[in-house]
A and B are shown apart, each in its own frame.
Chain A
Amino acid sequence: MQLFKTLRLATRDYQHEWKTSICFVLGLSAVLGPMMVLYGLKVGIIGGMFNQLIENPINREIRPVSSGRYERAWLGALHRRDDVTFVVPHTRNIAAMIELQSQRASRIIKAETIPSDHGDPLLDPIRVTPTGLHAVVLSRSAANKLKVDVGDTISGSIKRRYRDQSERVHIDLKIIGIAPLESFARDGVFADLRLVEALEDFRDGHAVPALGWTGDVVTGERTYPGFRLYARSIYDVENLERLLNEAGIDVRTRSTQIALVVKMERNLNAIYWLIALIGLVGFALSLGASLWANIDHKRKELSVLRLVGFRTGDIIWFPMIQAFYTAVLGTLLAVGLFQGVAWLINDLLGQQLSNGEPVCILYQEHYIAAAVLTIVTALISAILAGIRAARIEPSDGLREL
């Protein structure tokens, strides 16, 4: 095998014919570069939309539309599912309202209490869990109106009509965290479920011994009118929705929006690959044709190699090695082009996008895929030229005809 010698000669020839080589490389990057930019835009834009979908827990949220009677055990079973990350029961909405007052603001505001627990996706960013009857996390809007911050204590109060008497109770609440604006836009209080239950119990005329509130003593299993559930990922939402529907529970989800983005990605992918395929075939044909024609140009030199004893099997590598160089250099140049254009796009458009995510981006695996695809295509298109080169006989170039 003279493969190493063929490699050396093909390399020297490629260097010597640098003008032709540059044309090959430019031709390749002219096809590959724009294709990478196109794909980068697809990855950036669709990827950004996906990230927003994935990062915002609201998209994974599932809530029943109308109130039902859900038991703790049933909700527990739901929680244990692999595709569910978090479930917390709800009390009745009206019963969950609480009036809040701080010493710093004169206003009294009405806020909703939101049952929370460990692993609540809405409180994920601040990593705080309200536990017990006197600790709460305020929503940003409520905290602003009350002019309070973490560590402050506020007073909550609720009233009821009990045995024809109006009664009001007060409870001190320590603020252990403030939820980000995205988690809850209205005035709200994230609280331990026990606190929310206590408020409901008091309103219903029941006793809450832990807080010293008097009333009727009630026994029996508690049921909840609703719950707040989060799927593991946006891809699990559709399945969970179907499952709950089958159980006779109408739920509200973002599955339509998710499906829209998924469908958009699929369509854009199809369009992209169609363009890429056309580009790739065009590149393969043009490189193949150039290499094929180049064999005529090199006929004499190749026949000299045959004359000094290179076998047909060695000669076949000659155009393939050169096609490999074209593919590698062309890919590198295309990557350079892409990075320049991507930088420009991100710099120009990035300022207009609030989240600051890149509009045009490719990841390592995309670069590797582009290189592998290009090299394989180049080698395939060089095979015909290689076979043609191998057919050259020593006598072909001996005399100028």
Chain B
Amino acid sequence: MTAEANPISIYQIRNLLLDRESQGVSFRLAVPSLQIRQGEKIALIGESGCGKSTLLDILAFIAQPTESDGFLFHPEELDVGVHIDYHWRKRNLNQLGDLRKKHIGYVMQTGGLLPYLNVRDNMNLSRHVLHQEDDGSVEQLAMQLGIARHLNKLPETLSTGERQRVAIGRALAHNPSIVIADEPTASVDPFAAEKIMSLFISLAEARNITVIVASHAWQHVNKLGLRRLSHHTQRSSDGRTTETIVNG
């Protein structure tokens, strides 16, 4: 995949830093340069605590970078890119929220399904917030995810794997430009994990949705054709500071 084939980058980040301090340990995430093109499938692999989740939070406009020279977000549907760093500086949290709800789907580690809504309503949540009409796409998605027979059940009656499928369905249901998934299969057995993951990637592929997945150990990156972001983590000798540098 080359820049010429798809000239627009959905994310363009230059010299972004995020510093965090907790319990006497300081943590820094540095992103000197990151470009992600529309439709790309990205994998972030690394042990926990290396900063994967923090990067995902930055890409989902949930965490505010300490500083950056540029953070442009430009999904296909928009004519011009949005300067995310500008909105953070202005604390336009509701605008960031609106961008997130329109363009981003999020798959949480443990599903994050609302226990009081059935599977259909959980999957429809992202659509309803955007006032999208029920057009049968949720049913179709449920069929593809193999959970159609559970549509009227509450999440508590489903297995962990089925719940993750619902969570993936919810992240895809409103046709976002990007789906961000944080350890989406961590709580599922490896066999089911591989099945769910390949289903997820193929559904995203068919819809030309950009996918960014974080995982701590995962052998199937290459098999599914994901681009792995390079990063390396340094710890100071006294263990008090950790710095992760991500490039890609």
Of all chain A residues, the one with the shortest Cβ separation from B63 is: A395
**Scoring B residues 87 to 121 as 1 if CB is less than 8 Å from chain A, else 0, what string do you get?**
00000011001101110001011101111110001
**A308 within 8 A of partner (CB):** yes
Give chain A nearest CB distance to B64 CB in angstroms. Answer: 10
B125's partner among A17, A308, A395, A399 (CB-CB below 8 A) is: A308
B-side contacts of A300, CB under 8 Å:
112
Cα separation A353 to B94 with both chains bound (whole Å): 67
Contact A398-B129, Cβ < 8 Å, known A9-B114, A16-B115, A304-B108 = no
Give chain B nearest CB distance to A58 CB in angstroms. Answer: 65
Contact A309-B97, Cβ < 8 Å, known A397-B112, A398-B182 = yes
**B229 within 8 A of partner (CB):** no
Give chain B nearest CB distance to A371 CB in angstroms. Answer: 27
Cα separation A43 to B117 with both chains bound (whole Å): 46
Of all chain B residues, the one with the shortest Cβ separation from A12 is: B116
Task: Give the contacts of A80-98 with B (CB-CB under 8 A).
Answer: none
Of all chain B residues, the one with the shortest Cβ separation from A303 is: B112
**A265 within 8 A of partner (CB):** no
Give chain B nearest CB distance to A300 CB in angstroms. Answer: 7
A398→B116 contact, CB < 8 A: no
Q: How large is the interface on A (under 10, 10 to 19, 20 to 34, 35 or more residues)?
A: 20 to 34
Give chain A nearest CB distance to B224 CB in angstroms. Answer: 24
Of all chain A residues, the one with the shortest Cβ separation from B93 is: A312
**A311 within 8 A of partner (CB):** yes
B-side contacts of A17, CB under 8 Å:
116
B129→A301 contact, CB < 8 A: no
A395's partner among B62, B110, B115 (CB-CB below 8 A) is: B62
Contact A400-B110, Cβ < 8 Å, known A308-B125, A309-B130, A394-B62 = yes
A-side contacts of B130, CB under 8 Å:
309
Contact A9-B53, Cβ < 8 Å, known A308-B101, A398-B182, A400-B110 = no
A-side contacts of B62, CB under 8 Å:
307, 393-395, 398
B-side contacts of A312, CB under 8 Å:
93-94
**A104 within 8 A of partner (CB):** no
Cα separation A371 to B125 with both chains bound (whole Å): 34
Task: Give the contacts of B116-164 with A (CB-CB under 8 A).
Answer: 116-117, 121, 125-126, 128-130, 154
**A51 within 8 A of partner (CB):** no
A308→B129 contact, CB < 8 A: yes
Of all chain A residues, the one with the shortest Cβ separation from B130 is: A309
A309→B129 contact, CB < 8 A: yes
Give chain A nearest CB distance to B180 CB in angstroms. Answer: 10
Give chain A nearest CB distance to B181 CB in angstroms. Answer: 12
**B57 within 8 A of partner (CB):** yes
B114→A304 contact, CB < 8 A: yes
Give chain A nearest CB distance to B133 CB in angstroms. Answer: 14
Cα separation A300 to B112 with both chains bound (whole Å): 7
Contact A5-B129, Cβ < 8 Å, known A301-B115, A304-B112, A395-B57 = yes
Cα separation A16 to B128 with both chains bound (whole Å): 20
Of all chain B residues, the one with the shortest Cβ separation from A397 is: B112
Task: Give the contacts of A302-325 with B (CB-CB under 8 A).
Answer: 304-312
B94→A311 contact, CB < 8 A: yes
Cα separation A91 to B101 with both chains bound (whole Å): 95
A-side contacts of B101, CB under 8 Å:
308-309
Task: Give the contacts of B41-64 with A (CB-CB under 8 A).
Answer: 53, 57, 60, 62-63
A-side contacts of B63, CB under 8 Å:
395
B-side contacts of A394, CB under 8 Å:
60, 62, 97, 100
A306→B115 contact, CB < 8 A: no
B-side contacts of A304, CB under 8 Å:
108, 112-114
B53→A5 contact, CB < 8 A: no
B117→A307 contact, CB < 8 A: no
Cα separation A301 to B110 with both chains bound (whole Å): 12
Give chain B nearest CB distance to A397 CB in angstroms. Answer: 7
Cα separation A312 to B96 with both chains bound (whole Å): 12
B-side contacts of A395, CB under 8 Å:
57, 62-63
Of all chain A residues, the one with the shortest Cβ separation from B62 is: A395
A9→B108 contact, CB < 8 A: no
**Scoring A residues 283 to 308 as 1 if CB is less than 8 Å from chain B, else 0, what string do you get?**
00000000000000000110011111
A12→B112 contact, CB < 8 A: no
B100→A309 contact, CB < 8 A: yes
**A103 within 8 A of partner (CB):** no
**A15 within 8 A of partner (CB):** yes
Given contacts A12-B117, A306-B97, 8 further A-B contacts (CB under 8 A): A2-B129, A13-B114, A13-B116, A305-B114, A398-B57, A398-B106, A398-B108, A399-B53
**Interchain residue pairs with CB less than 8 A apart (9):** A9-B114, A12-B116, A304-B108, A307-B112, A309-B98, A393-B62, A394-B60, A397-B112, A400-B109
